[in-house]
Chains A and B, each alone.
Chain A
Amino acid sequence: MFLDTTGAIIAATIIAATPLLLAAIGELVTEKSGVLNLGVEGMMLVGAVAGFAVDSAGGGAFGGLIAAMLAGAAMAALFGFLTLFLLTNQVATGLALTMFGTGLSALAGQGFVGTTVPRLGKIDIPLLSQIPLLGPAFFSHDALVYGSVLITAAVWYFLYRTRGGLILRAMGESADVAHAIGYPVIGIRFAAVLFGGAMAGLGGAYLSLAYTPLWAENMTAGRGWVALALVVFATWRPWRAMLGAYIFGGVTIAQLHVQGMGVSIPPQLLSMLPYAATIVVLVIISRDATRVKLNAPAALGKPFLPTA
């Protein structure tokens, strides 16, 4: 009985963490290339509604996920065009992307409010899922949970074990140097921005197709912003982003459980916890300025104009 409950709590934590992890890994790659996209929340929302729409229209869960990635990437392309080609301010453009995405998703999702789709199916890993505690906790999840871990591993491998990853990191270090050596800075950054958008879209779709298989306006409830904070928390390292996402998932699930157990703490206070935790974590990480400076991509947020 105890084992069952613990297993369920761990499983729920992982599920709550998955959308955060997906969005954070995408943003991490974008930021590693030197671009700060604050539009994660907007891209997640558009991904969520696109995935839900395609799934509802009979495209299936898989079709929904693909649509979400495309929609997120399309939003990111808009951001990339403005910031990389027209050199607009990255902070302001990211904010605009979030506002636009919020409005667009609400508009597009008008007809879906109150409808539902089948929840993304679970895949029990043979044998492993039979293990008490560990099985239900780790090996009985939907494909995207496994996928998010694989993506994290792939991003880590790409960034730190391949020449392409080295080029991407170099791009975030100094666009001018990369340009002088002859790398297509804007093209590579654009690709990184698109990847970030696709992952944010996927994270959004996880919310609308797996976490709570329905569409509601603003259903991300700030998760896009939490994902941005996670990238800082992780000091731009993929595995630490995963750790951070699971900690936040844990906080979210813990407050839900406390509410469920009928403890007489007002639910609003408990709902504040993830947001307050984000602030605390940001303070802890950023107080060590040197460490942040050493890990943050040096060119983050700086516009690049290829002149000479």
Chain B
Amino acid sequence: MSHKKVPLLRLEPRAETARVMVYAAPLIAVVLTLIGGSVLFALMGFAPHVALYNFFIAPISDTYGLSELAVKATPLVLIAIGLSLGFRANVWNIGAEGQLTIGALFGGMVALALNDLTGWYILPLEIIAGVLAGMAWAAIPAFLRTRFNTNEILVSLMLTYIAQLLLNLLVHGVLRDPAALGFPQSKAFSDSTLLPTILDGTRVTSSTIITLLIVGIAWVVVAKSFVGFQIRVAGLAPAAARYAGFRQPRLVWMTLLAGGGLAGLAGIFEVAGPIGQLQPTISPGYGFTAIIVAFLGRLHPLGILLAGLLVALSYLGGEAVQINMGMPLAVTGVFQGMLLFFLLACDVLVSYRIRWRGTGQGAVTGARAAKG
């Protein structure tokens, strides 16, 4: 006959969200990533504690390191804020890298066109151009999804490749600085088209302050506004959103435009800030990494701010272990991937209780107690 099959591991839905786990899960994920990272370092033949120190502590042990953390975190947080709105509504824009590229390209082209002028209006103009370009790029998947029901994941991703090729085409062509000895790069931006730094001796610009402002605005939208509520309902229960009369196409447009606009903003901030010109590669994958930041921050603006700093550290750490210990830069990507995996796995604890074989009896007594 058959025997009783009790699985080793079993999930039991919780009646209520575990509030503690909402905050604990990301922390557990970080700890697990550190453990996983130690194993990885050991496998590569490095002493884990030395490597972890070089990865996580050394890069931010001086003021300049901290300022670099802000420089790296700024685009990550900006993009993640935009993406998180979409993810909340089940709108999967994964083409932020492309929207960033297009924002940098068009914002940068405005900057180059006005490169020889001076005036207060130049920076706002190039920033607006960057935001609009990012929004336009995101409008393509928004239009195709709302009009033709086309999957936005694949469209936004394909557009990323196209955006990068377009940037590549233009910096090899019309935008190339004749004085650059054949290198594919534009003229350097003039002072009037560059964002001013706000701390002497660092690369931190006013973009960081604007980002903090945007985090504040996003917090109001997400936590207080009715639009934020509609976005959440659309993501949690699309049928309930239809029943309530929340217009889904409008939410798709709004979240994609917000995501594209903020990615475009991050793009123009990069070229008008740390980079200072147009070149074939603008971002070390910020648009993709921001997806991790968004999830690690629980799609919440304040969480994203903290997560942005942590993930920015993984970029600095990757560079540090490359320089100090000769490790390949790809370590960063592995760390980021691991972090997201562990986070998704830990998220289970928020809505489910894990039961191991043999712990089932506890539920009976518990239920009896609750009944009596």
Residue numbers of A with Cβ under 8 A of B are: 38, 78, 82, 85-89, 91-93, 95-97, 99-104, 106-107, 110, 217, 221-222, 225, 228-229, 232, 266, 268-269, 271-272, 275-276, 278-279, 282-283, 286-287, 289, 292, 305, 307
Partner of A86, one of B94, B165, B331, B345: B345
Complex Cα spacing A296 to B87, Å: 23
Residues of B near A110 (CB, < 8 A) are 328, 330
The answer to whether A102 touches B169, judged by C-beta atoms less than 8 angstroms apart, is no
- The answer for the CA separation of A86 and B354 in the assembled complex, in Å, is 9
User: CB distance B344 to A99 under 8 Å?
Assistant: no
B208 to chain A, nearest CB (A): 25
The 7 A-B residue pairs with the shortest CB-CB distance, nearest first, are A103-B333, A100-B337, A106-B330, A268-B169, A103-B334, A96-B340, A107-B330
Contact A99 B333 (CB under 8 A): yes
Structural contact, A276 and B330, CB atoms closer than 8 A: no
Q: How far is the CA of A217 from the CA of B330 in the complex (A)?
A: 10
Q: A92-B295, A95-B291, A107-B331 are in contact. Are A292 and B149 (CB under 8 A)?
A: yes
Give A283 to B151 CA distance when docked, in angstroms.
9
Q: CB-CB < 8 A to A275: which residues of B?
A: 158-159, 161-162
Q: How far is the CA of A87 from the CA of B349 in the complex (A)?
A: 11
Instruction: Mark out the residues of chain B between 124 and 157 whose CB falls within 8 Å of any chain A CB in the assembled complex.
Output: 144, 148-151, 153-155, 157
How far, in whole Å, are A29 and B151 apart by their CA atoms in the complex?
Answer: 19
Q: Apart from A99-B337, A279-B144, what 9 extra A-B contacts exist at CB < 8 Å?
A: A88-B345, A100-B334, A106-B328, A222-B161, A271-B165, A276-B162, A279-B155, A286-B150, A287-B149
Residues from chain B with a CB closer than 8 A to the CB of A232 are: 151, 154
Q: Is B92 an interface residue (CB 8 A)?
A: yes
B288 within 8 A of A: yes
| From B9, B13, B92, B340, residue with most partner A Cβ within 10 Å | B340
Residues of B in contact with A (beta carbons under 8 Å apart): 9, 11, 13, 87, 92, 94, 144, 148-151, 153-155, 157-159, 161-162, 165-166, 168-169, 172-173, 288-289, 291-292, 295, 328, 330-338, 340-341, 344-345, 347-348, 352
* Interface pair B11/A101, CB less than 8 Å apart: no
Within the assembled complex, what's the spacing in Å between the Cα atoms of A103 and B155?
23
User: Complex: how many Å from CA A269 to CA B345?
Assistant: 41
Contact: B148 with A86, CB < 8 Å? no
Q: Is there contact, CB below 8 Å, between A278 and B158?
A: yes
Decide if A283 touches B169 in the complex (CB within 8 Å): no
What separation, in Å, do the CA atoms of A104 and B172 have in the docked complex?
31
Contact call B94/A95, Cβ cutoff below 8 A: yes
Write the nearest CB–CB distance from B135 to chain A, whole angstroms.
18
Residues of chain B with a CB closer than 8 A to A279's CB: 144, 150, 154-155, 158-159
Partner of A82, one of B154, B161, B291, B341: B341
Question: Given that A88-B347, A276-B162 are known contacts, is A282 also in contact with B151, CB under 8 Å in the complex?
Answer: yes
Contacts of B333 in A (CB 8 A): 99-100, 102-104, 106-107
Chain A, Cβ-Cβ closest to B145: A286
Please report whether the interface of chain A is mostly helix, strand, loop or mixed according to DSSP.
helix
A286 B344 Cβ-Cβ under 8 A: no
Counting residue pairs across A and B whose Cβ atoms lie within 8 Å, the total is 138
Contact A100-B158, Cβ < 8 Å, known A88-B344, A268-B169, A283-B148 = no
CB distance from A51 to the nearest CB of B (A): 18
Q: Which of B150, B155, B344 contacts A96 (CB 8 A)?
A: B344
Q: Give the distance to chain B from A83, nearest Cβ to Cβ, in Å.
A: 9
Closest to A225 in B: B157
Knowing A95-B291, A106-B328, A283-B144, the reply to whether A266 touches B173 (Cβ < 8 A) is yes
In the complex, what residues of A have CB within 8 A of residue B289's CB? 99
Cross-interface CB contact of A91 among B149, B153, B165, B341, cutoff 8 Å: B153
Task: Name the residue in A96, A97, A110, A289 with the highest tally of chain B Cβ atoms < 10 Å from its Cβ.
Answer: A96
Q: Given contacts A86-B348, A110-B328, A289-B149, are A99 and B288 in contact (CB under 8 A)?
A: yes
Measured CB to CB, the closest approach of chain A to B354, in angstroms, equals 9
B357 to chain A, nearest CB (A): 14
A109 — nearest CB in chain B belongs to which residue? B330
Q: How distant is A306 from chain B, measured CB to nearest CB, in Å?
A: 9
> B297: shortest Cβ distance to chain A, in Å?
13
Determine if A91 and B92 form an interchain contact, defined as CB atoms under 8 angstroms apart. Answer: yes
Given the known inter-chain contacts A268-B172, A275-B162, A282-B154, please indicate yes or no for A103 contacting B348, CB distance below 8 A: no
A sample of 23 cross-chain residue pairs with beta-carbon separation below 8 angstroms, ordered by A number, consists of A78-B341, A82-B344, A85-B11, A87-B11, A87-B348, A88-B347, A88-B348, A89-B344, A92-B291, A96-B344, A99-B292, A101-B337, A102-B333, A102-B337, A103-B330, A107-B331, A225-B158, A229-B154, A268-B169, A269-B165, A286-B150, A289-B149, A307-B13
A103-B336 in contact (CB<8A): yes
Identify A222's interface contact among B158, B288, B331, CB under 8 A.
B158
B344 and A268 within 8 A (CB): no
The CA of A241 and the CA of B191, in the complex, are separated in Å by 54
Expressed in whole angstroms, the minimum distance between the Cβ of B18 and any Cβ of chain A is 15
Alpha-carbon separation in the docked complex, A95 to B340 (Å): 9
Contact A103 B337, beta carbon cutoff 8 Å: yes
Q: Is the CB of A100 within 8 A of B153?
A: no
C-alpha gap A272/B162 in the complex (Å): 5
In the complex, chain A residues whose CB is within 8 Å of the CB of B335: 103
Question: How distant is A226 from chain B, measured CB to nearest CB, in Å?
Answer: 8
**Is the CB–CB distance between A104 and B158 below 8 Å?**
no
Write out the residue numbers on chain B whose beta carbons fall within 8 Å of the beta carbon of A97. 337
Within 8 Å by CB of B334, from A38, A78, A82, A107, lies A107
Chain B residue numbers with a CB within 8 Å of A102 are: 333, 337
In the assembled complex, how far is the CB of residue A142 from the closest CB belonging to chain B, in whole angstroms? 27
- Out of B158, B169, B295, which one reaches A276, CB within 8 Å? B158
A222 to B166 Cα, complex, angstroms: 16
Interchain nearest-CB distance for A259 vs B (Å): 13
Task: List the B residue with the shortest CB-CB distance to A266.
Answer: B169
Measured CA separation A232–B92 after assembly (Å)? 17
- Asked if A222 and B334 sit within 8 Å, CB to CB, the answer is no
Chain B residues whose CB sits within 8 angstroms of the CB of A282 once the complex forms: 144, 150-151, 154-155
Residues of A within 8 A of B159 (CB): 275, 279
> What's the minimum C-beta distance from A72 to chain B, rounded to whole angstroms?
16
